[in-house]
Amino acid sequence: MQEAAFIWDLDGTLLDSYEAILAGIEETYRQFSLPYNKKEVRAFILKYSVQDLLEQVAKERGLDVGLLNQVRAQSLAEKNAQVVLMSGAREVLAWADQQEIQQFVYTHKGDNAFTILRDLRLDSYFTEILTSQSGFARKPSPEAATYLINKYHLNPDRTYYIGDRTLDIDFAQNSGIQSINFLESPAVCNHQISHLEEISSLIF
């Protein structure tokens, strides 16, 4: 069995990307002449996901969700330069690397995630990067975590999913692994942090 392992979420965890995401959604809404309320959209995607948002809009407006996704993906790809690192992200990745903590990514982002991580020179920290295009059921299904645990012989008690939403805590809980999250939760598996820098002070 391996020692500690980190599985990272991206948006709102390693990447300060919500403004770029919201700008991409706003542009998509504009192309389809849809009313856009930034505050409501932000609250919705933080609670659920961008995919859930687009599926709901498509259903309500009689639109093709595939086309909505295509337009949004193109818009978001053009905004990669707006995506920056969360405070302390590079430092904690380097620290974990020095501690020989194996690191992975599981994100609902598409394959644009590879481009962003490469542009930010972070891709080399990760043993494997899983995206929405990797073929796994979306969070909170444990499918992706089960795949990583089995493939890399990870110890679930020492494997941490690091995220920023309740969905991420639910994913960790359903997967039988630990959670590190910016949110407080009654879930026994969760370790709350306020800043990424605090991760290095947790006991692994």
The predicted-structure confidence for 87-138, as pLDDT tens digits, reads as follows 999 999 999 999 999 999 999 988 899 999 999 999 999 999 999 999 999 9
The predicted-structure confidence for 131-157, as pLDDT tens digits, reads as follows 999 999 999 999 999 999 999 999 999
The predicted-structure confidence for 172-183, as pLDDT tens digits, reads as follows 999 999 999 999
Query: CA-CA distance, 18 to 133, in Å (whole number)?
Result: 20
pTM, two decimal places: 0.90
Under 8 Å between Cβ of 23 and 91:
no
pLDDT in the model for residue 1: 43
pLDDT in the model for residue 48: 85
Instruction: Work out the widest C-alpha separation in the chain, in whole angstroms.
Output: 53
What number does CATH give the domain 5-16+83-201?
3.40.50.1000
Reply yes or no on whether the pLDDT at 2 is more than 80: no
Query: CA-CA distance, 120 to 105, in Å (whole number)?
Result: 15
- How high is the mean pLDDT of the chain? 94
Homologous superfamily (CATH) of 18-81 is Putative phosphatase; domain 2 (1.10.150.240)
Residue range(s) occupied by CATH 1.10.150.240 in the chain: 18-81
Reply yes or no on whether the pLDDT at 75 is more than 90: no
Contacts for 144 with CB less than 8 Å, ≥ 6 apart: 106, 130, 134, 136, 137
